[in-house]
């Protein structure tokens, strides 16, 4: 079978791999149909994702059709369309015992620490498979996984209706977060980005205010928009060098700041920005059993995942797809690799 592997940072190759077989643990064989390109995949390609190991078949936004099932598989059947959970925890460490397997001390993530979804077949446990709603195409269903990241992020933020929220970044991640944030009907949702077109889309999709961070001072504008107090929740979906300090400065006393980046490059912050306002700075990583939550939201009509995919490329054109991502073309929203 064909697969896309990052052999080392900057080195992408198409290779032939042996088709996986069913086992007692991996009792569902999935024929892949679509896999998304995420910012973390791009980070693995460029060598800036500190969690990744090489060589690695990447891809953690994984949709396919069940081709075969083995003994003990009861959750899915042959012919079911499924999306696959990327988190593989140990089940017994401190984090797992505390109900947080997404940050398991021995965490394995498909597409990061073990081979992921950029290959024609995967064998996985049936417990990691979730049925894709009939209303979504395979490419659209890829968006379930980024939406689980958004649900996890909002859970970590402990959002309430009285909150005022700043989302820094209006790319694929920020847009997914906006979809979920607005379900909490917060008092105000501010989106900051450098692209006016993306900011216009954010307004169409539920933001109450937008800030072009190339033209305006984001913390100052957030204080203006909140009567001088500052937002109560800041979510960093841009994950660039200056965004964490911006979030700390924009957030008012007793607020929460949610970080999602994986860069190990030094960034400027100071303790006064945190301590003086007694801010809670909380990381949000992956998702904690949120797939069914998102699928239920889609089925209930509360989350619309249609229209999110801007481009598709065949799996064998993965290099072209990653080169296109690097072009930073303003039309890019979500790119999906297909297995036709």
Contacts of 198 (CB under 8 A, 6+ apart): 170, 171, 175
pLDDT for 330? 83
pLDDT for 268? 86
C-alpha torsion sign, points 13, 50, 31, 71: positive
Beta strand residue intervals within the chain, DSSP E: 2-8, 11-16, 28-37, 56-57, 62-69, 81-84, 87-88, 108-109, 121-124, 129-131, 164-168, 188-193, 209-212, 231-236, 251-259, 280-283, 309-314, 334-338
Q: Which of 202, 204, 184 is nearest to 193 (CA)?
A: 202
Taking the chain (340 residues) in runs of 10, the rounded mean pLDDT of each run is 97 97 96 95 92 95 97 95 97 97 97 97 97 97 96 97 97 92 95 96 96 98 98 95 95 97 84 97 96 97 92 97 93 91
Measured distance CA(268)–CA(288) in Å, rounded: 30
Measured distance CA(210)–CA(279) in Å, rounded: 23
Start-to-end C-alpha separation, the chain: 13
pLDDT for 340? 79
How many CB atoms sit inside 10 A of residue 201's CB? 18
- The structure tokens 């198409």 sit at 14
pLDDT for 47? 92
Measured distance CA(102)–CA(283) in Å, rounded: 12
Q: What is the CA radius of gyration of the chain?
A: 20
Q: pTM of whole model > 0.75? A: yes
pLDDT for 329? 87
Q: What are phi and psi of 95, to 5 degrees?
A: -60, -45
Alpha helices in the chain (DSSP H): 39-46, 94-97, 138-141, 144-157, 172-181, 196-204, 218-225, 243-250, 271-275, 291-299, 318-326
Strand partners, 178: none
Domains of the chain, each with CATH number or no CATH: 2-143+305-338 (3.90.180.10), 148-283 (3.40.50.720)
pLDDT for 50? 83
Instruction: Judge contact between 278 and 254, C-beta under 8 A.
Output: yes
pLDDT for 129? 98
How many CB atoms sit inside 10 A of residue 323's CB? 11
Q: What are phi and psi of 193, to 5 degrees?
A: -160, 175
Q: Which of 35, 101, 93 is nearest to 285 (CA)?
A: 101
How many CB atoms sit inside 10 A of residue 154's CB? 22
Measured distance CA(271)–CA(317) in Å, rounded: 46
Query: Residues 165-175, buried b or exposed e (16+ Cβ, 10 A)?
Result: bbbbbbbbbbb
């Amino acid at each position: 079978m064909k697969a896309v592997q990052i052999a080392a940072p900057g080195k992408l190759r198409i290779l032939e791999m042996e088709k996986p077989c069913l086992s007692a643990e991996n009792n569902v064989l999935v024929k892949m149909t679509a896999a998304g390109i995420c910012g973390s995949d791009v980070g693995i390609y460029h060598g800036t994702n500190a969690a990744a190991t090489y060589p690695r078949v990447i891809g953690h936004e994984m949709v396919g059709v069940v081709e075969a099932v083995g003994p003990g598989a009861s959750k899915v059947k042959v012919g079911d369309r499924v999306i696959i959970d990327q988190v593989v925890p140990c089940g017994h460490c401190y984090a797992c015992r505390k109900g947080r397997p997404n940050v398991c001390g021995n965490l394995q993530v498909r597409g990061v620490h073990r081979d992921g979804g950029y290959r024609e077949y995967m064998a996985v446990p049936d417990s990691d498979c979730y049925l894709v709603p009939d209303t979504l195409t395979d490419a659209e269903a890829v968006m379930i996984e980024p939406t689980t990241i958004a649900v996890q992020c909002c859970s970590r933020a402990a959002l309430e209706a009285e909150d005022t929220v700043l989302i820094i970044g209006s790319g694929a991640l920020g847009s997914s977060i906006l979809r979920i944030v607005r379900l909490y009907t917060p008092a105000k949702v501010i989106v900051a980005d450098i692209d006016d077109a993306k900011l216009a889309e954010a307004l169409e999709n539920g933001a109450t205010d937008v800030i072009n961070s190339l033209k305006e001072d984001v913390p100052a504008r957030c204080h203006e928009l909140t009567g001088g107090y500052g937002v109560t929740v800041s979510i960093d979906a841009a994950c660039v060098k200056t965004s964490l300090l911006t979030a700390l400065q924009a957030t008012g006393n007793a607020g929460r700041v949610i970080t999602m980046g994986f860069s190990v490059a030094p960034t400027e912050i100071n303790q006064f920005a945190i301590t003086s306002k007694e801010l809670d700075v909380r990381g949000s990583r992956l998702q904690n059993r949120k797939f069914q939550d998102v699928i239920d939201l889609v089925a209930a009509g509360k989350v619309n995942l249609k229209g999110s995919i801007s481009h598709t490329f065949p799996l064998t054109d993965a290099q072209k797809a990653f080169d296109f991502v690097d072009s930073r073309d303003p039309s890019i929203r979500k790119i999906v690799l297909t297995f036709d």
